Structure 1
Amino acid sequence: MSLVDRHCVHDAPALDDAALQLMLAEVPEWKITGDRIEREFVFRDFHETMEFVNALAFMIHREDHHPDLAVGYRRCTASWTTHSAGNRLSANDFVCAAKADALYAGRAGA
Structure 2
Amino acid sequence: MSAALPLTARHCTPAAPALDDAAIAALLAQLPDWQVDAGRLLREFLFRDYHETIEFVNALAFMVHREDHHPDLQVGYRRCTASWTTHSAGNKLSENDFICAAKADALYAERAGA
| Category of TM-score, reference length = shorter chain | over 0.9
The correspondence for 2:96, drawn from 92, 95, 100, is 92
Over aligned residues, Cα RMSD in angstroms?
0.9
The correspondence for 1:27, drawn from 15, 31, 40, is 31
Counterpart in 2 of 1:8?
Answer: 12
Which whole-Å CA distance do the structure 1 matches of 2:30 and 2:9 have between them? 12
Gaps of 5+ in 1: none
Q: TM-score, normalised to structure 2's length? A: 0.94
Which whole-Å CA distance do the structure 1 matches of 2:51 and 2:36 have between them? 28
Counterpart in 2 of 1:103?
Answer: 107
**Which runs of structure 1 show a deviation greater than 2 angstroms over 4 or more consecutive aligned residues?**
none
Q: Which amino acid aligns with 2:94?
A: S
Q: TM-score, normalised to structure 1's length? A: 0.97
Which whole-Å CA distance do the structure 2 matches of 1:25 and 1:5 have between them? 17
Taking a change above 3 Å as real, the CA distance of residues 42 and 108 of structure 1, as seen in their structure-2 partners, is closer
Counterpart in 1 of 2:52?
Answer: 48
Gaps of 5+ in 2: none
Which whole-Å CA distance do the structure 2 matches of 1:55 and 1:4 have between them? 15
Counterpart in 2 of 1:37?
Answer: 41
